[in-house]
Amino acid sequence: MKPGERARVSEDCTGLAVLRLNARDEGNLYIQGHSQSGVPFFTIHAFLGAIGPLTHPDPKDVLVIGIGSGGTPWAAGLHPATRQVRAIEIVAPVADVVRQARAEGRDGGIGALLAEARVAVTIADGRHTLLVDRTQYDVIEADAILPKSSLSGLLYSREFFEQVRARLKPGGLFVQWAPTERSIATFRAVFPHVVMVSPALIGSDRAIGYDAERVRGWLRDKRVHDRLRRTRVDVVELDAWFRDRWPEVLNGGVTCHRG
């Protein structure tokens, strides 16, 4: 480690997590030896977390599979109408190292996730939860594992996407990043309506009304803006992601506006 850096480490039967931060409270979270997310939150995670709830007209109940350092579930709670974000993480030490950093009072903003009353963090297997829990959601998001990781195919499979679809309310949205052409094809085989705002895929059983200007309007809302700033998300950069990415209709009748 470099001078001024510190690391928080936790390991149990579910895996290994290392949170490494420098003197400016910036760094990376490593899960099973792979760099998965950052502090401050990477823009891509804020983008993936925000796009579903800010596209849905009334995203009261949101489920996020995979928490990492917290960027995706934090951004999934941006919409003021959201009552609860349920965040599921299979590697228990991930939540443990975030708690350690928060207890020290120098967590770079990631501890905000655990302090948020609307966010419920659960240590569980996302696939098993979808199988046994009949709760339905307005938005479900999966940002859990890199395709190169062992057993990653379980979360890019037709069977998993069908499990997700069964837990969406009518008109509900599923957000999944698009790592490969193969995963995109599988996603399209399950959801009759699909729009891609690269790298995000949005799927639904009904037409998707994606409007980039409306999403960007939410980013200018003081409540949303302040929430992002609390975790040092670069709001200008996030806005540019929505401004510069052209929505591509892949399936069904989708109403899209770039803005």
pLDDT in tens, 87-107: 999 999 999 998 888 887 767
pLDDT value at 85 more than 70? yes
User: Is the model's pLDDT at 242 over the cut of 60?
Assistant: yes
CA 31 remoteness from chain centre: 16
- Residue 25 resides in a domain: no
Q: Residue 116's domain is classified under what CATH number?
A: 3.40.50.150
Which tokens sit at 218?
Answer: 């939410």
Q: Is residue 19 part of a domain?
A: no
> Is residue 214 within 8 Å of residue 241, measured between CB atoms?
no
- For residue 9, list its beta bridge partners: 18
Enter the pTM of the model. 0.92
Cis status, amide bond into 192, omega within 30 of 0: no
DSSP annotation of 214: H
Residue 28 lies in a domain: no
Domain presence at residue 17: no
How do residues 124-144 score in pLDDT, each as one tens digit?
A: 999 999 999 999 999 999 986
Residue 38 lies in a domain: no
> Would residue 70 count as lying in a domain?
yes
CA–CA dist 144, 186 (Å, integer): 17
Cis bond before residue 147 (omega within 30° of 0): no
CA distances from 214 to 39, 130, 200 (A): 28, 31, 17
Burial status of residue 242 (CB atoms within 10 A of its CB: 0-12, 13-18, 19 or more): buried
| Residues 140 and 107: beta-carbon distance below 8 Å | no
- Does 36 map to a domain? no
> How many structural domains comprise the chain?
1
Which pLDDT value is given to residue 103? 83
Q: What is the pLDDT of residue 247?
A: 93
Write the pLDDT tens digit of every residue in 139-158: 999 986 665 655 566 678 99
Q: Take residue 155 and report the two structure tokens written for it.
A: 């979360």
What are the tokens at 255?
Answer: 């109403």
- Domain ranges, residue 235: 43-254
Q: Is 226 exposed, middle or buried (0-12, 13-18, 19+ CB in 10 A)?
A: exposed
Higher-pLDDT residue of 62, 114: 62
Tens of pLDDT, residue by residue over 153-202, are: 667 899 999 999 999 999 999 999 888 899 899 999 999 999 999 999 99
Does residue 24 lie within any of the structural domains? no
